[in-house]
Structure 1
Amino acid sequence: MNKIWKTTAAVGLIGASIWTGSVLNLTAEGAGVTNQPGTADDPVVTKSYVEQAIQQAIKGGGATTTPTTPTNPTTPSTSEGSGSSSDAVSIVDVKPGQILIASAGAEFVVRAGKAVIYSQDLNGVADLTDGKDITNGGAVANNHLLSFPRDGRGIQVQEGNKYNLTVMVRGGYKIQ
């Protein structure tokens, strides 16, 4: 009798659990559905609208100016880069003898070449990757994020090196 009682109780408990689970599942499925497709909270869009939005995102939402480099690096001419879109990244080549000067708030990442910091005063540039300050003439490690807090600071090709720098720039800059 004890064995029959245990079997009946186990079958009843399993059956009640299955029934309770299915009732709770039906309630949970219906409770969370508030954003039906086609409502104001979840609008249906057309293919042309999506394509137009993608084209605007690719173009960056505005015109950007491509920097020009001087034809003769010994000439003290300057060229300015775009600072209109702070999220846009420009790839800039810096030749030996040129200085890439950052606008306040600009960020540089040296991708190729040997660079050193250029600063007119004693203060330097923040290397955010290492968490340290690099002063004038200090070497810059490749693939490190540099932050320029003020105008007039920049980077240049290390003295004696004959190869260009390739730099990713976010923010304003000019080449001297």
Structure 2
Amino acid sequence: MKTVWKVTTAAVLIGGSVLAGSLLNIQAEGAGTTPGTADDPVVTKSYVDQAIQQAINGGGGLSTPSTGSSSESSSEDGVQIVEVKPGKILVAAEGTEFIVRSGKAVIYSADSNGVADLTDGKDIPNGGAVANNHLLSFPREGRGIQVQDGDTHNLTVMVRGGYQIK
């Protein structure tokens, strides 16, 4: 009698599991879409790279300030490497970004406002030290960086946007 009970219990459990599995047979969400349709677009790496490059090159609108300077430039095509000598000031145009790669730099600002350090998420005031390899954003023209007083080495700066050296 014990074996009949075990066989019956096993048959009921297996049958119930099969029945429950067939009733609960639903597709995973999103598995029913066809790749390449509007519901599931497929793009290639080259397309994404091209779109990013167009956004960088075409989304500019960066301008170069026209106030008197010894040297000025505008880089809407990408990043330029600029050397800043002691005693010179690298002044950014509106919307320009700097990354100080080497040297000891401090913020230059004609007013009390500073420059946004996007890497640390804080504002660096006029005369404040700039950490190397930090992304700086200049929301208005007339602000920039210069070599720290007493330092005799040049600054190497990556610049995206307009700038001038005074």
Does the pair score TM above 0.5? Answer: yes
Secondary structure class of the residue paired with 1:160: coil
Match of 2:101 in 1: 111
Match of 1:13 in 2: 13
Deviation at 1:158, TM superposition (A): 1.8
Distance of aligned partners of 1:28 and 1:43 in 2 relative to their CA distance in 1, 3 Å threshold: closer
**CA separation in 1, counterparts of 2:50 and 2:124?**
39
Match of 1:168 in 2: 158
**CA separation in 2, counterparts of 1:134 and 1:29?**
50
Deviation at 1:160, TM superposition (A): 3.0
1:128-143 pair list within 5 angstroms: 128-143=118-133
Instruction: Write out per-residue CA displacement over residues 105-145 of structure 1, whole angstroms, 9 at most, x where no aligned residue.
Output: 33322222211111112222223334443222221111223
Match of 1:78 in 2: 71
Instruction: Write out per-residue CA displacement over residues 15-47 of structure 1, whole angstroms, 9 at most, x where no aligned residue.
Output: 43245435644x41698423255x6766899xx
Deviation at 1:151, TM superposition (A): 0.9
1:94/1:157 contact within 8 Å kept? no
TM-score (norm 1): 0.63
1:93 aligns with 2:88: no
Distance of aligned partners of 1:167 and 1:55 in 2 relative to their CA distance in 1, 3 Å threshold: same
**CA separation in 1, counterparts of 2:42 and 2:125?**
55
Deviation at 1:154, TM superposition (A): 0.5
**CA separation in 2, counterparts of 1:133 and 1:57?**
31
Distance of aligned partners of 1:173 and 1:16 in 2 relative to their CA distance in 1, 3 Å threshold: farther
Structure 1: 5+ residue stretches without partners: 65-75
What do you get for the CA RMSD once the two structures are aligned? 3.7
- Segment drifting more, 119-128 vs 15-24: 15-24
Structure 2: 5+ residue stretches without partners: 61-68
1:17-32 pair list within 5 angstroms: 17-18=17-18, 20-21=20-21, 24-25=24-25, 27-28=26-27, 32=31
1:154 to 126, 144, 149: 144
Distance of aligned partners of 1:111 and 1:52 in 2 relative to their CA distance in 1, 3 Å threshold: closer
1:94/1:156 contact within 8 Å kept? no
**CA separation in 1, counterparts of 2:152 and 2:3?**
91
Distance of aligned partners of 1:124 and 1:21 in 2 relative to their CA distance in 1, 3 Å threshold: same
**CA separation in 1, counterparts of 2:84 and 2:4?**
91
Instruction: Write out per-residue CA displacement over residues 138-172 of structure 1, whole angstroms, 9 at most, x where no aligned residue.
Output: 21111223222221000112233233323233443
Secondary structure class of the residue paired with 2:101: strand
Match of 2:33 in 1: 34
TM-score (norm 2): 0.66
Match of 1:122 in 2: 112
